[in-house]
Structure 1
Amino acid sequence: MDYNAVRTFVAVADAGQFQKAAADLSVTQQAVSKRVTALEHSLGVKLFVRAPGRTRLTIDGQALLPHARAILDSMERAAASVRPGSRALRVDVVHRQLATAGLLRAFREAHPDTALDIVTLHGGAEAVEAVRSGVIDATVRAVTFLDQPLPDDVESARVLDEPLHLFTGPGHSFAKARSVTPAQLAGHHIWMPGNSPGTEWTAYYDRLAAEFGFTIDTIGLDFGIEIIFDTIADSSTVATFVGQETRLVWPVRHALRRIPLVHPTPVYPGQLVWRTDNTHPALATLRNHLTAAYPGRPNSGIWAPE
């Protein structure tokens, strides 16, 4: 696909008007229209519903938009990769809402001039291989729970121990509790449809369940956090786990509960993983920042697998 056509398509989608997109791109409205029409012809679909004063995406346009953004992002990274001294530090996290991403947000606040490129790979093994091969500069993962040791040229340092919360709806038997012990969960089912076989987080939760006698239920497709909200809100038996620092916003009508786990508090660990011969100057800055900010693991009151 033509780069300018893709760039113009994204600009129109963001602006909601051909005229405003033309102004944003410093081209004529006619040029914007021609580029979008050419892209529609090349794909054989309509991308926009044109109406006076407003342009909205069709279903096909909605499907194309994230891929179009990825194309533009990829081309920008390609250009940045050959600009002397300008390449962003590329770091992987499990999910942008989780505490590992929060560590990078705090780093960026402390070092606002450091360019970061955040990616989300699927699992720890893939992330470690990406570090080893040079696809990314670092990852923040619980690589302790991978089935294989780190490669010889890859190192890690612990930078996080995140306490877990029980996450329930208002009708759950623990909904009114100020805290819950892991032992109280014995015999209960904890619903975690995002737990994929072979991933480090699945290995962690399997060990946690085995230690305290509850069951991790992965039945059902993972359609995202909103579906989990809906399901838990309507159930008196379904609960899940979330990290204390995980950013979640749900509809007020759901009246969901986050209940701390105590005596002991299970903590989910995070490690910064990097290749020893990586000389990117921002990597050393990130490593120093995260290791200095890590308070260390308490001697008692917590649970983490060996």
Structure 2
Amino acid sequence: MSLAPDAVAPRLLRAFLAVVDELHFTRAAARLYVAQQALSRDVRRLERELGVELFVRTTRQVALTPDGERLVPYARRVLEAQDALVEAFRQARPLLVDLNSPGLATGVRVLRRARELVPDVELLARYESGLTHAAAEILAGRLDVSFGRFAGLDPAVRARLEQQPVRYEPMAVILPDDHRLAALDAVPLAELRGETVYAGAGNPRTPEWTELARELFAGRGIELAPAAPLVVGEEEFARFMAKTRTPVLAVVDFPPMPRSVLRPLVDPVPLSPVSLVWRKGLTHPGLDALRRAAVEHAKAEVWLSHPQDGWIPAADALVMMTFTR
């Protein structure tokens, strides 16, 4: 007695069921859009693999054998399960996209355009607050895509990710609305000499941002504020700022906060490098749409133009020129 194989190709089962339904090899072949010889060959192969005879063939008719009768319900269940599997994955699963913080315009605008490009694909926003944390979530399979400063990640982490530059985003400072610099339209970096500025020190989700601030403040007489508890919510942010009166390093598109003003930094213009970041090997129509949307915005709004008076660390400049195409 022959032993059944560990696996049977679905194609062979489809050939078998077509003959079962038609009880005629020519009609079954036409139904499957294959040559009759190919259909007969698949049925014979299935019989060999199972070690049984499935049909009794005469010049006048085709009939199932007892083993053929026994196979029918199994074959139907296998093909129904395969069809269900294919259907489940025909539509791409939702793509989880980290936008860092609510209100940051770069990621929001790229995501909005990507949704227009692939309206039938679900792109779900998440707010992981910092690329270091988001990158760990991406590598753990709990997140798909994020935005942020790629050069600020650990090299071992970067080696498992891919990135596409999106924008050189000008940096800014958030000030209490009665701060001595609040009346300025833009704040020269030299005016921050002697100030202590908060840039996320102590936040384990955003060390790449703190390190960028540390490089920016070096040699300019600007102190990096020590670690502080993470403040969540607009009102709590306003209360904490009013109490500490500590300016906060931000980007020009940071959303408005109560009882504070946002002022761009100049002389030079410090730039926050923003990349689209994803796990190596990821393929998804939503990712393709995000990459296309990022390119469209970068061209239309000159996001990747480096101003003559712009400041950026050398490592970041190199990353922004070397990316996955």
Q: Structure 1 residues 301, 151: closer, same or farther in 2, change over 3 A?
A: closer
Deviation at 1:238, TM superposition (A): 2.6
Aligned to 1:103: 109
**Alignment partner of 1:300 is 2:311:** no
Match of 2:221 among 191, 213, 218: 213
Instruction: Give the root-mean-square deviation of aligned CA atoms.
Output: 2.8
Matched residues in 2 for 1:249 and 1:223: separation?
A: 12
What is the TM-score of this pair, normalised by structure 1? 0.63
Matched residues in 1 for 2:198 and 2:142: separation?
A: 33
Report percent identity of matched pairs: 23
Kindly tell me the number of residue pairs found equivalent between the two proteins. 221
Matched residues in 2 for 1:105 and 1:278: separation?
A: 17
Matched residues in 1 for 2:201 and 2:117: separation?
A: 33
Deviation at 1:196, TM superposition (A): 1.6
Match of 1:261 among 246, 259, 265: 265
What is the TM-score of this pair, normalised by structure 2? 0.60
Stretch moving more, 81-90 or 177-186: 81-90
Stretch moving more, 123-132 or 183-192: 123-132
Residues 26-65 of structure 1: pairs in structure 2 closer than 5 A:
none
- Tell me which amino acid in the other structure corresponds to 2:236: I
Deviation at 1:304, TM superposition (A): 1.5
**Alignment partner of 1:168 is 2:175:** yes
SS in 1 for 2:185: coil
Is this contact kept in 1: 2:169–2:273, CA < 8 A? Answer: yes
- Tell me which amino acid in the other structure corresponds to 1:85: Q
Aligned to 1:6: none
Deviation at 1:270, TM superposition (A): 1.0
Matched residues in 1 for 2:170 and 2:184: separation?
A: 17
Q: Structure 1 residues 191, 134: closer, same or farther in 2, change over 3 A?
A: closer
Q: Which runs of 5+ in 1 are unaligned?
A: 1-80
Residues 1-306 of structure 1: pairs in structure 2 closer than 5 A:
82=88, 84-108=90-114, 110-111=116-117, 113=119, 114-121=121-128, 123-192=130-199, 195-197=202-204, 199-224=207-232, 225-233=234-242, 237-250=245-258, 254=259, 256-294=260-298, 295=302, 296-306=304-314
Is this contact kept in 2: 1:193–1:221, CA < 8 A? Answer: no
Aligned to 2:8: none
Deviation at 1:82, TM superposition (A): 4.6
Q: Structure 1 residues 129, 109: closer, same or farther in 2, change over 3 A?
A: closer
Is this contact kept in 2: 1:157–1:273, CA < 8 A? Answer: yes
